[in-house]
Structure 1
């Protein structure tokens, strides 16, 4: 029985269970947000915020059977947050505010420290160059493809780049660095350092040009591993990529983001732990913007099957450029409005705002990439 004069929140069973099974719960509304794991009348809150937060942050639903997308990923449409139409809300942080409010009602002198907002930019380098460093066979294949398509503009650009008459279109690092110095923020670059494969189309991991490029980035910014598409199914491949990148830079790499955001629970994070990765930045959806784990602050990965909190820190992201450009075909000005709304949310709840961009987008080489440089700079202005 609850104490007559104390704060009482009714506990739900999920926090005391050791098995993983399909949770059945009703959803209600409290202060304009959906709540679940509902409590009885004696509880000071109409739901258990600890159980609800644990369900979301542990990614409990991703241990259940689901209909995967074309890349065998857990899709947004399968998630509780999507079905409740609240992907854009950090429910866990909102639940924490509910708890804070009720605590202060009972204990007005209680001092509560809120997390501080911070902005960290992140850029994925899936392909460092459009034309350079591809090797003779890929280069000739590119020329043949362009000629077959009668794309003479591409032929000219490829020729001029290869003969040093112009910069490679994807060489946008100087522009990125200028903005970084102008607005004073930090960037993490996640580098694809892999063998050539269907979905891994970067330069060879043995390419001296790629090595020079990565070293130049490391002189000014932090570098993390972008584990290849293939490595998600084979930790030995991921280890080869990690050790190779570490040898090039002569540093320990402790950060990662999965290529194609291929994140499988709990295997992907267990593999990262085996390789002593301490921070991962893959927690988000490809096809939708929003909070996959319902939270805008970093958290430790809890392995549900092993029932253990791990040392791996998970850093959620709210969107990537490709979500707007490819999945949702959002116009740049419309996307900027959504991005600034996310930044306001992060500021309100003391979140860690880490968007995903790709170096090739800044080239504005393709029609669908035009206008996104301005979106990026306006985002930075709002975020710093």
Structure 2
């Protein structure tokens, strides 16, 4: 080793590894339930399409509320204490679904369950940002995100299998068992607690927008709002599009191929970003994202869908950790928790409103037209990135 070189700071510490495992279990519960709850609401309560959509999206509403308040009160409550409380809610609410005897109660339970998800996920993500050495921030963020990617790949498949072969009650019990695993792992993590300043204590009960959302993070986080909005067109309508185009078999493989592409991308993109700067990876990520939507728009064969999955994996799947690394690097330590909450809040908002807006647009545009429109939205997102960060970003 040359005399002036230094070994890379350790990344895979005990706490980073355990937090990554806990994040997998937290994400796994989300992906177990989100693909099936609209259908469950129809089957169990005779819900209309609109009410079924509410039964599904109410979880996201709860998650948004959880993220908003977690960003502000994370260090007042204490990270360890808050993650234990929120994961306790996460465990209990999965079981409570079994007792729901009407749609209003079910929607209420979904909302509280989402609150537990949003709170616990934000605490874990914010804490991990403090565990990663600054010199390996993008790399570590990418590795941490792989845990959610694996959940994306296997959660929906397992959910549909359990609901079909067993029952929805079995699915709810499975979700609570997985949430319990997240809680047990979290109990073994040493969370990086931070002492709040006197100024923070004085504004503890101030609930102005500036204390709930990190204004400095909003410009970059707005990119994730657009990206989440666009990707919701895949999450919510790919199955419908594939059925219409007689490509159902390939669509069923989409998320598996997508997850593999994301996994591969996170093995090297973070390292390049740490060493060469943000722009060298983020602009190609946007290009891949746009190409994925264009490929969906022209799909007429199975391989088109699968190529789109690869492009999306190197697009949306790689964009999240890349931009999260950007906002963490731009945030002073006392604001990292609020910045992380703001980042995911914007993502949740985009993902939540996307299906509603796009559902209104599809009758006029068709599925192919919608995907071309979403490609244009990602072009706008890339221009926004250039304006708010790209032109200021460091280069190697």
Shorter-chain TM-score: which interval? under 0.3
Q: Quick check: which has more Rg, 1 or 2?
A: 1
Which structure's relative contact order is higher, taking Cα pairs within 8 Å and 6+ residues apart? 2
TM-score w.r.t. the length of structure 2 is 0.24
